[in-house]
Amino acid sequence: MSSNLLDKGYEPHEVEKRWYDFWEKQGLFAAKDESSQKSYSIVIPPPNVTGVLHMGHALNNVMQDILCRYRRMRGDNVLWMPGTDHAGIATQNVVERQLANEGTDRHQVGREKFIERVWEWRKEYGGAIINQLKRLGASCDWERERFTMDEGLSKAVRRVFVQLYEEKLIYQGNYIINWCPRCHTALADLEVEHEELDSYLYYIKYPFPDGSGGITVATTRPETMLGDTALAVNPDDERYLNIGFDEVILPLVNKKIPIIRDTYVDAGFGTGGLKVTPAHDPNDFELGKRHNLPAVKAIGDDGRMTEEAGRYQGLDRTECRKAVLKDLEDQELLVKIEPLKHSVGHCYRCHTIIEPNLSKQWFVKAKPLAEKAMEAVKTGKTKIIPEIWENTYYDWLENIRDWCISRQIWWGHQIPAWTCEDCQEIIVAAETPAACTKCSSTNLVQETDVLDTWFSSALWPFSTMGWPEQTPLLKTFYPTSTLVTGFDILFFWVARMMMMGIHFMGDVPFKDVYVHALVRDEHGKKMSKSTGNVIDPLTIIETYGTDAFRFTLAAFAAQGRDVKMSEKRVEGYRHFINKLWNAARFSLMHLDKAYIKIPEKKLSLQDQWILSRLGQVIARVEEALDTYRFNEAAGAVYQFVWHEFCDWYLEAAKPALYGKSGDDAAGSSKAVLWRVLRETLILLHPFTPFVSEEIWHKLPGTQGSIMQASFPSDNPDNKAIIVSPESESQMETIISVITGIRNIRGEMNIQPSLALDARVQTADENICEIIKSQQDMIIDLARLKSFTAEDPGERPKSAATAIIENAVIFVSLEGIIDFAQEAKRLEKEITKLEKELTGVSKKLNNEDFLAKAPDDVVEKVREKHAVLSEKHHKLQVNLEKIMELDKS
């Protein structure tokens, strides 16, 4: 029997490593390529190869792991496909910094050697995030781990590019794109992060050719005027209907530019005049196309002014702005300057302010692909959960712009396009062509740009399973069952996977998309290094153990609501893990064998009740996990374990377990205890895999890993788990009586060891019968000397009361409490408390304190005031009760 005993305390770190190694060695995460089992699959949102585990990763992967462990227990053939993304810009930046520290750069080492260096870096450091996911308990099929730059995925990328090009859905053209002068690459609209900045609106006068007046325009970027090719006004703007001129003079450049009229111009903004710079603004670019305007590129790819900028050539764009403003002021053409707050785009990698720039790039024609992606959600082929994200998804797809997929960096999938140097023919092919298809020249040069990282990750659900080969894995697991993702990549990734999956596989890539919220700090603020409120998951795991951390994330992961994370909350769930451990340790002391079958004879009330409650929680957890309500599933099992199994059932079952109620009762209670503990561990396993596995192996009668156990509702041995409303109602009555007596003991400050006399008066025969039949349980758990149930009558002298439904509880205090002495004690405590409360109230009434103190300090004072006020109220109530009892 000693072999199944648990250590006195739960030490997570040794347990976690041992069981994770066991799971991997036993191949318990492995999916079968072909199986008669129902298929369930998830593709991991591939973390960047440069990444480290943060709270967003932790929440996302804990949710996926809960689903995968749950579905394995339901008997499914589960594939959780892992992998990492090559993260083009981010990874290139990391290696470029290494080269800079060595006194060189990528241009000096050359493209080929640079790519070799990146692969070396990936081999040495790229697995960090994977190892951290394993610390989290992620049960991915690691034998299938993929990388967006591995050979198979590269083949898929080339195949997709060539097909889309042949279908005229990929094209090359000049277009305004977002350009990062620091990273020297184009960025998709989604890769631009907008930030509200304090800026200015500059009013600049564009004179008429004869010098008589002019039109004033308002702009936030005066340096771009050097690339202006027109001035636009609204055709219905009365101010400009009869101006008598078709041209204005472009200040500083001193050349004539036309006045164009277009309804795009907002007559209500600024002066109603709009400078048109087709090479440096996406809206101006469209205006330029409509009016056949030339595009003058005044700002180069390096963020410096070009030859087109005249005497400002070579200046950095910010230096140029200062110079332009000074010259405009000197020429009395700077009319006024107004402060302005406006949104400015920054590179999502290096946070440099981006430059809208005219550039020749490769694009995907997105509209035809987007229509089918919208239709799939509208018809329910793919469900977005919660539904609130559907409109956001539709809105983006309805207004989608062509997707710029070329990047001017070296790390990534080099675009499979070659230009013939002799005839300028462009050849797009999956394999390197031997000669030009037009003139047969061998003088071919491959496109130097690489594809946007999101292009390869858009193929992730099917490229990871072997496409373009029609593999058994693809047949078994595509479309995948669920995608768990954050809302921030709903467009970056989810919508693009939908477009590519439908186009190339003829089916949606996933049936459900579960969109989780953000993890914020305990005050609801977004975590960031600059504010110093970042909580490191690995530090939390090291301090409290993985299970406590995972359970915290699940418990607060309500649909559509951000998770407020704090170390205190994780500490609270560490107490829950300890509570479970201690309950299991006590239980195992009484379980010398496996009690597979529960006796058919009538069970005690507590045994019937706990089995009924177990049945209820099994159903609730199942329903909640099937509908992605992680917090409800975690909350249900938490309530059951702590408040029903530990607090009530184990206490009520002790007399039977210790043999005080006879051998039959002992055998029945042990059988019930064994069953309840076993199924509880299974319910907990998706949330707390390590502690549940450790206890599982100590429980007699278990075989193999808990991961291979059947979910309780699928186990035919669980026939005895019957939901019984009658036993639950009866037990609720008993709990109410015991709780009422305990509350009196607490309010009256009576020692727990002191046995009391109590009685219940009720006219309800059913309650009276229940109480009498469970008298021993009440006496034992309420620590009483005597207990009776009787019809309503006179109130006993010197008795404290508690009221429950249809009954009144009386606890005799005669000889137990010196009422006069207790009243003095309470009065003294109230006086002391009132002094403290006065001091706190003064602070809250001090306007100076409220205005100057930090928000968190004020909040703590308010919380303290609330706690003291509640305590004061309770003491007053108790004093009144004592004084009443003293009179009686």
Residues pairing with 757 in the sheet: 786
Closest CA to 565 of 554, 550, 552: 552
Encoded amino acid at 769, one letter: E
- To the question of whether residue 529 is assigned a binding role by annotation, the answer is yes
Element (H, E) at 346: strand 334-347
Q: What is the pLDDT of residues 370-429, one digit of tens each?
A: 999 999 999 999 999 999 999 999 999 998 988 989 998 899 999 999 999 999 999 999
Asked if 43 and 464 count as a contact pair (C-beta separation under 8 A), the reply is yes
796 vs 250, residue with greater confidence: 250
Q: 660 or 137: which carries more pLDDT confidence? A: 137
Q: Looking at the predicted structure, is the pLDDT value of residue 456 above 70?
A: yes
Q: How far apart are CA 805 and CA 789, in angstroms?
A: 14
878 phi and psi, to 5 degrees? -65, -40
pLDDT score of 440: 96
Task: Please give the backbone phi and psi of residue 212, each rounded to the nearest 5 degrees, phi first.
Answer: -90, 95
Average pLDDT over residues 124-145: 94
Question: Residues 197-228: pLDDT tens digits?
Answer: 888 999 999 999 988 889 999 999 999 999 99
For residue 480, what is the enclosing H or E element?
strand 480-486
Give the model confidence (pLDDT) of 624-672 as tens digits.
999 999 999 999 999 999 999 999 999 999 999 998 877 788 999 999 9
Largest CA distance in the chain: 115
Closest CA to 20 of 151, 139, 118: 139
| pLDDT score recorded for residue 561 | 83
Per-residue pLDDT reduced to its tens digit, 577-633: 999 999 999 999 999 999 988 988 889 999 999 999 999 999 999 999 999 999 999
Residues 6+ apart with CB under 8 A from 107: none
Contact 60, 498 (CB under 8 A): no
Position 871 pLDDT exceeds 90: no
Report the alpha-carbon distance of residue 429 to residue 424 in Å, rounded: 16
The whole-number pLDDT of residue 2 equals 37
Residue 767 pLDDT grade (very low, low, confident, very high; cuts 50, 70, 90): very high
Identify each DSSP E strand in 34-165 by its residue range. 39-43, 77-81, 83-84, 146-147
pLDDT digits (tens, 9 = 90+) for 260-313: 999 999 988 878 999 999 999 988 998 999 999 999 999 998 889 999 999 999
Most confident of the ranges 191-205, 475-489, 743-757, 810-824 = 475-489
Write a three-state SS string for 277-293. CCCCCHHHHHHHHHCCC
CB 90 within 8 A of CB 649: no
What is the model's pLDDT at position 517?
A: 86
Q: What integer is the mean pLDDT of 22-49? A: 96
Q: State the average pLDDT over residues 524-540.
A: 84
* pLDDT value for 88: 87
Contact between 815 and 867 (Cβ < 8 Å): no
Q: What is the predicted pLDDT for the residue at 822? A: 67
* Per-residue pLDDT tens digits for 819-833: 776 677 778 878 888
HEC profile of 566-619? CHHHHHHHHHHHHHHHHHHHHHHCCCCCCCCCCCCCCCCHHHHHHHHHHHHHHH
Residue with the larger pLDDT of the pair 873 and 431: 431
In order of 171, 177, 276, 403, the CA distances from 356 in angstroms are 20, 6, 13, 15
Task: Give long-range contacts, CB 8 A cutoff, 24+ apart: 613-621.
Answer: 613/640, 613/644, 613/728, 614/640, 614/675, 614/676, 614/679, 614/680, 614/712, 614/721, 615/721, 615/722, 615/723, 616/723, 617/683, 618/679, 618/683, 618/712, 618/713, 618/721, 619/713, 619/723, 621/683
Name the percent of the chain lying above pLDDT 70.
99
> pLDDT tier at 193 (50, 70, 90 boundaries)?
confident
Ordered strands of the 255-261 beta sheet: 247-250, 255-261, 230-233, 273-276, 214-219, 192-207, 334-347
Cα 267 versus chain centre, distance:
43
| Mean pLDDT over the full length of the chain | 92
Ramachandran sector of residue 610 (left: φ over 0; alpha: ψ -120 to 50; beta: rest): alpha
Q: Looking at the predicted structure, is the pLDDT value of residue 533 above 90? A: no
Of the candidates 166, 152, 92, the one whose C-alpha atom is nearest the C-alpha of residue 122 is: 92
- What pLDDT is recorded for position 1? 33
